[in-house]
């Protein structure tokens, strides 16, 4: 039996995060999706719902973390990996550290608000008590294209801009 490489598994899981991002776009929210994986299965899933919920904290990562914590019955998510289509912002990166996520894998880099390497390095800050392994650029082109297409369509439609 053929076993997939870690890189191939990251791509497979990122495809699931992309599907969640498409759900956000369908709801006219910024298409970012996230999943939490533990022991080879998805235990939490989220997509941006800021518009739907009128909640500034309703980011994909926060919703996926909440779902995962509910699934395992505990806020500590050791042994878990979060896959997200866009580099986490400062709020989400802070939540990942506080949740004790083992690993963060993201797609597109966010040079304007990224807090996992682009603008800030929250997940790698040695002053914090937890530092998840952080890897970016997995299916970056696909993740970035979803965002680019969404914002391009918004600019064309003045009522949605």
7 is annotated as an active-site residue: no
In the set 8, 28, 51, 61, the catalytic residue is 61
Residue spans of beta strands (DSSP E) within the chain: 33-38, 41-47, 80-86, 103-108, 133-135
Cα(92)–Cα(122) distance, rounded to whole angstroms? 10
- Active-site residue numbers? 61
């Amino acid at each position: 039996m053929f076993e997939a490489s870690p890189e191939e598994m990251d791509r497979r899981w990122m495809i699931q995060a992309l599907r969640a991002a498409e759900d956000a776009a369908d709801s006219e929210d910024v298409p970012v999706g996230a999943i939490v994986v533990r022991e080879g299965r998805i235990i939490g899933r989220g997509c941006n719902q800021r518009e739907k919920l009128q909640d500034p904290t309703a980011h994909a990562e926060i919703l996926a973390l909440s779902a995962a914590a509910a699934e395992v019955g505990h806020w500590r998510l050791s042994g878990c990996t979060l896959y997200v289509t866009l580099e986490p912002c400062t709020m989400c990166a802070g939540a990942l550290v506080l949740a004790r996520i083992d690993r963060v894998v993201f797609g597109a880099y966010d040079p304007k608000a990224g807090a996992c390497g682009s603008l800030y390095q929250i997940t790698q800050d040695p002053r914090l008590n937890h530092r998840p392994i952080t890897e970016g650029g997995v299916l970056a082109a696909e993740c970035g294209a979803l965002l680019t297409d969404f914002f391009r369509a918004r600019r064309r439609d003045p009522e949605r801009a």
